[in-house]
Amino acid sequence: QTLRQLLGPDAFRRAPVRPGAAHRVPPRAIGDAPRFRWRGLLLDVARHFLPKDGVLRYLDLMAAHKLNVLHLHLTDDQGWRIEIKRYPELTRTGSWRSRSKLGHRLSSRWEEKPHGGHYTQDDLREIVAYAAERHISVVPEIDLPGHSQAAIAAYPELGNTDVVDTAALTVWDDWGVNPNVLAPTEDVLRFYEGVLEEVLDVFPADAGEFAPFVHIGGDECPKDQWRASATAQARVRELGVAGEDGLQAWFIGHFDAWLAERGRRLIGWDEILEGGLAKGAAVSSWRGYAGGIAAARAGHDVVMCPEQQVYLDHRQAPGEDEPVPIGFVRTLEDVYRFEPVPAGLDAEAAAHVLGPQANLWSEVLDSQERVDYQAFPRLAAFAEVAWSALPASGERDFTGFEQRMTAHYRRLDALGVGYRPPAGPHPWQRRPGILGRPLDGPPPQR
């Protein structure tokens, strides 16, 4: 990719526009190596489905930016996207919803049409192989024990049936944190072991440097149903764990051991720290730096993806014409000044920071065009942070980066990327009347 950048924007087109023209580069030595091993991008294909060709396209875009881990968020309350042959209802029922909230969850508007889709196992094998050809590892995420309403809608026995009528649940059509979580029973463990057996077959451990990892979520798991459930409370007493947080730690610990027995590694969101971290688990630190710092100091590997720094679904400018503005403003310069290794970590703990990851959550990204707009150009700034040994955040030459972006915008044009122009969105990129939730002021630093 370094050499490709020297050839001009036409080198990024899918076919030559000047057949027979030769690319010439003067003799030179290239010294180029990454700062971080893990240079990741999360694509949320559960909230809004991205067809297979869209995923393959993003693998090409990742390769062009020297990113090497695709974290594929395959399951959530709003959709189950991976074929599981022993449990066909997961896609027959769980892969589509009857309608979708338009904009932020406080909006009163709905898109009154079904939304859905899923990948067959062969689709995903193709994605894994395509990624491997580009030196990209694909890390699948099967979210549990929260973010599970789509699975419960397909198989109601997975939910807390002594608290809620799970047979009445459908795939969720709204956004936010959902109260319907998995029941802490042996049957649920066996069900998800069956799911993961097929996941491991589709995503083999030898398909890339980080291919042994399987992400099991572990985030945003409300405990209200467990508190009210006689079954859950009996399990707390039986296990002798410290309440509902201990019950979640038991869930995570079970799958950490199960994966380790099969030569795989568990990674989860930083809530898995609550109630005690499973021995072999790695942590995706999303609620700021604090969880990652604690995990690294305890000797666990960490991927730094703090929400207020590298959640690219958040708005990138303060203007009223930003489409569906969510969260604090995170400009191109803000992302360029993101530092994945907090200053408070000593060398031993810092060595556990595998690298950074940018996350693209898709609640308000309902098309490839919306994904492109939110990702670019900020993903280019993130990629430079992940690859290059840059100075300290405040000492980085953003003016120089902007000048280099002038050439890179032409590469993005050649790649067909619908990025946000520096002067603001094109008229057709705006979404007037679709409610967002912009937050004012600087984001919290924690």
Distance CA 237, CA 39 (A): 42
Distance CA 155, CA 161 (A): 11
Judge contact between 229 and 218, C-beta under 8 A. no
Query: Is the residue at 207 inside a domain?
Result: yes
- Nearest 5°: the CA angle 28, 35, 305 is 140
Distance CA 323, CA 206 (A): 40
Judge contact between 170 and 358, C-beta under 8 A. no
For the chain, the farthest-separated pair of C-alpha atoms sits apart, in whole angstroms, at 74
Judge contact between 261 and 244, C-beta under 8 A. no
Number of structural domains (the chain) is: 1
Distance CA 78, CA 72 (A): 15
What dihedral do alpha carbons 32, 37, 39, 42 form, nearest 10°?
160
pLDDT in tens, 299-351: 999 999 999 999 999 999 999 999 999 999 999 999 999 999 999 899 999 99
Distance CA 381, CA 335 (A): 6
Query: Is the residue at 191 inside a domain?
Result: yes
Q: What is the CATH number of the domain that holds 196?
A: 3.20.20.80
Q: Coil, strand or helix: which one is 55? A: helix
Q: Coil, strand or helix: which one is 285? A: strand
Beta 96-97 vs 115-116: how paired, if at all? antiparallel
Q: Is the pLDDT reported for residue 19 higher than 90?
A: no
pLDDT score at 276:
78
**pLDDT grade for 298, boundaries at 50, 70 and 90:** very high
Query: Is the residue at 412 inside a domain?
Result: yes
Beta 213-217 vs 110-111: how paired, if at all? unpaired
pLDDT score at 163:
98
pLDDT score at 229:
99
Query: Is the residue at 411 inside a domain?
Result: yes
Query: Is the residue at 444 inside a domain?
Result: no
Active-site residue, selected from the candidate residues 44, 48, 76, 372? 76
Buried-state track 370-395, b at ≥16 Cβ within 10 A, e below 16? bbbbbbbbbbbbbbbbbbeebeeeee
Question: Who's near 117: CB < 8 A, 6+ residues apart?
Answer: 49, 51, 79, 81, 95, 96
220 flagged as catalytic: yes
Of 391, 385, 294, 419, which is closest to residue 39 (Cα–Cα)? Answer: 385
Beta 100-101 vs 110-111: how paired, if at all? antiparallel
Q: Coil, strand or helix: which one is 41? A: strand
pLDDT in tens, 194-223: 999 999 999 999 999 999 999 999 999 999
Query: Is the residue at 26 inside a domain?
Result: yes
pLDDT score at 6:
78
H/E element holding 358?
strand 353-360
Q: Within the chain, how many helices (H) and strands (E) appear?
A: 16, 16
Active-site residue, selected from the candidate residues 220, 245, 321, 402? 220
pLDDT score at 280:
81
Which residue in the block uniquely carries the two structure tokens 């099967």? 142
Q: Tell me the whole-structure pTM to 2 decimals.
A: 0.97
Distances (CA, A) of 253 to 140, 189, 248, 352, 440: 18, 12, 8, 20, 39
Buried-state track 125-164, b at ≥16 Cβ within 10 A, e below 16? bebbebbbebebbbbbbbbbbbbbbbbbbbbbebbbbebb
Enclosing domain of residue 330: 2-438
pLDDT in tens, 132-180: 999 999 999 999 999 999 999 999 999 999 999 999 999 999 999 999 9
Distance CA 56, CA 59 (A): 5
Q: Is the pLDDT reported for residue 275 higher than 80?
A: no
76 flagged as catalytic: yes
Q: Is the pLDDT reported for residue 446 higher than 80?
A: no
Q: Which residue has the higher pLDDT, 253 or 279?
A: 253
CA-based radius of gyration for the chain? 22
* DSSP-H helix ranges across 316-424: 332-336, 347-350, 368-375, 378-387, 398-415
Active-site residue, selected from the candidate residues 147, 300, 352, 408? 147
> Beta partners for 42?
71, 359
pLDDT score at 30:
82
Query: Is the residue at 445 inside a domain?
Result: no
83 flagged as catalytic: no
Q: Which two tokens stand for residue 325?
A: 């503005």
